[in-house]
């Protein structure tokens, strides 16, 4: 029994070796090294089978399993290579979704992973709008629609835009919108020489006329039109003091002579703006001067007295509406002043009508006049010169 079994085992082992050798030669393309390796593996498998008391099929099974292991290892290696080759491409595809707003702005509706995360983009005039990662329906989180555009530049512009605006007196200035949505503005160019405001009329005393003066009007191209005929405003004459034609222009002035026979002075006691008291007990030298507004705008004017050839001396002054000389009612003054020390007045002896509390400046309508009364404070018959100054503060 033992011999038969042993002989069967030997015969089976020999057959297995032969079969393995044939398979090795066929499966490895006839390379002897591969056949030898397979034969050696078959020999080892046979020995293992004999040692374990197993049948000859065990050797064949071990060889088959070895081939399967080699194939699996090769397949695994190929798979790893494929995975390694595919990994960068897959990562590139997945990166925008995984990275979300950190990598790039993605459109609303795109899947996102971190609920509550936000991304922002520019909008409007240098403003921003925000999208939030959320799952309103409890499903997959996605980027929500963009919110309202906020923090835009007030009065801003679209960067790169170029335009021009009118400026000054018929001039233009170029404007270019900067990257921060604000305008960069150039200088005002192209204003005519000696330009004027369209529609404004100017009265020029004695231009030339025996009495009164001539008027011309500024045209739409900001240049003066031709002078008209000689005219006299409000009974005025070439002796009227004409206020400056624009705000900020140098003051105008005229020297007048206070002379006798005088009239009763304005009493400093009890006189106020809107009401002057006449002192019938004191007679002094005095004079009236028309102050004329030749523009077609209402003017607010600072008027003050300063010394002329006679130097400074104590004066009284009042302003009356209109150009009647003398006023119909001396008590109906609109302004009154005794002493003025506020700039541009110098000292407190000479009178003046200046801004303050209350505002003491006369207001003269377009093409209208006021009448200024100036008298010496003390009773005297001695003539005195005084300079009357006018400055245009407001035109509206």
pLDDT at 212 over 50: yes
Q: What is the pLDDT of residue 124?
A: 93
The answer to which of 56-60, 152-156, 328-332 has the lowest mean pLDDT is 56-60
Average pLDDT over residues 301-305: 96
Average pLDDT over residues 111-134: 94
| Class of domain 241-395 as given by CATH | mainly beta
Average pLDDT over residues 173-197: 93
* Comparison of pLDDT for 151 and 23, the residue scoring more: 151
DSSP 251: P
- Alpha carbon dihedral 28, 29, 35, 41, in 10-degree steps, equals 10
Average pLDDT over residues 224-229: 86
CA atoms within 13 A on the CB side of 392: 25
| Mean pLDDT comparison of 15-19, 65-69, 102-106, 322-326, highest-scoring range | 322-326
pLDDT at 89 over 60: no
Q: Quick one: angle between helices 32-52 and 57-99, nearest 10?
A: 110
pLDDT at 68 over 70: no
Q: Which residues of 95-123 are buried (b: 16+ CB within 10 A; e: fewer)?
A: eeeeebbeeeebeeeeebeeeebebeeeb
Average pLDDT over residues 93-115: 65
Predicted TM-score (pTM) of this structure: 0.45
Q: Which helix (H) or strand (E) holds 303?
A: strand 299-307
In the chain, the percentage of residues whose pLDDT exceeds 90 is 38
Q: What is the pLDDT of residues 167-183, one digit of tens each?
A: 989 999 999 999 999 99
Q: What is the rounded distance in angstroms from the CA atom of residue 308 to the CA atom of residue 257? A: 10
Q: What is the pLDDT of residue 106?
A: 84
In the chain, the percentage of residues whose pLDDT exceeds 70 is 70
8 Å CB contact between 181 and 155: no
> What is the DSSP track for 362-387?
-EE-TT-EEEEEEEESS---S-EEEE
- Quote the tokens at residue 361: 């400046």
Average pLDDT over residues 59-70: 41
Q: Rounded mean pLDDT of the chain?
A: 76
Distances (CA, A) of 76 to 62, 79, 300: 20, 5, 100
* Comparison of pLDDT for 43 and 346, the residue scoring more: 346
| Mean pLDDT comparison of 146-150, 224-228, 290-294, 323-327, highest-scoring range | 146-150
* Comparison of pLDDT for 223 and 207, the residue scoring more: 223
8 Å CB contact between 109 and 142: yes
Categorize the per-residue pLDDT at 194 as very low, low, confident or very high, splitting at 50, 70 and 90. confident
Q: What is the rounded distance in angstroms from the CA atom of residue 147 to the CA atom of residue 132? A: 9
> Can you give the residue ranges of every domain in the chain?
2-68, 161-191, 193-232, 241-395
Q: What is the pLDDT of residue 323?
A: 83
Q: What is the rounded distance in angstroms from the CA atom of residue 368 to the CA atom of residue 384? A: 28
- Quote the tokens at residue 120: 């922002």
Q: What is the rounded distance in angstroms from the CA atom of residue 280 to the CA atom of residue 264? A: 5
Q: What is the pLDDT of residues 36-54, one digit of tens each?
A: 344 444 444 443 444 444 4
């Amino acid at each position: 029994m033992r011999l038969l079994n042993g002989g069967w085992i030997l015969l089976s082992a020999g057959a297995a070796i032969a079969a393995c050798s044939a398979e090795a030669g066929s499966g490895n393309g006839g390379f002897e090294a591969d056949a030898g390796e397979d034969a050696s593996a078959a020999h080892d498998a046979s020995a293992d089978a004999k040692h374990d008391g197993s049948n000859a099929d065990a050797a064949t099974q071990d060889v088959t399993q070895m081939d399967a292991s080699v194939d699996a290892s090769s397949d695994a290696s190929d798979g790893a290579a494929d995975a390694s080759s595919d990994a960068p491409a897959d990562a590139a595809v997945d990166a925008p979704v995984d990275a979300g707003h950190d990598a790039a702005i993605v459109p609303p509706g795109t899947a996102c992973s971190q609920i509550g995360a936000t991304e922002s983009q520019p909008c409007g005039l240098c403003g921003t709008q925000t999208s939030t990662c959320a799952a309103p329906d409890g499903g997959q989180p996605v980027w929500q629609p963009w919110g309202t555009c906020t923090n835009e530049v007030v009065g801003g512009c679209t960067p790169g835009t170029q335009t021009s605006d009118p400026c000054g007196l018929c001039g233009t200035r170029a404007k270019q919108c900067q990257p921060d949505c604000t305008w960069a503005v150039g200088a005002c160019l192209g204003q005519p020489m000696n330009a004027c405001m369209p529609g404004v009329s100017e009265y020029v005393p004695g231009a030339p006329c025996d009495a009164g003066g001539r008027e011309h009007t500024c045209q739409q191209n900001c240049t003066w039109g031709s002078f008209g005929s000689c005219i006299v405003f409000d009974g005025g004459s070439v002796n009227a003091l004409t206020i400056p034609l624009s705000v900020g222009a140098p003051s105008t002035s005229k020297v007048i002579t206070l002379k006798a026979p005088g009239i009763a002075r304005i009493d400093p006691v009890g006189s106020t703006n809107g009401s002057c008291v006449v002192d019938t007990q004191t007679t002094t030298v005095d004079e009236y001067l028309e102050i004329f507004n030749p523009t077609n705008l209402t003017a607010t004017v600072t008027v003050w007295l300063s010394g002329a050839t006679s130097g400074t001396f104590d004066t009284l002054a009042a302003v009356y509406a209109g150009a009647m000389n003398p006023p119909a009612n001396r008590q109906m003054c609109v302004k009154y002043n005794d002493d003025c020390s506020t700039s541009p007045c110098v000292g407190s002896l000479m009178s003046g009508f200046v801004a303050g509390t209350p505002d003491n400046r006369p207001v003269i309508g377009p093409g209208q006049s006021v009448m200024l009364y100036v008298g010496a404070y003390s009773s005297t018959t001695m003539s005195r010169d005084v300079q009357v100054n006018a400055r245009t503060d407001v035109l509206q």
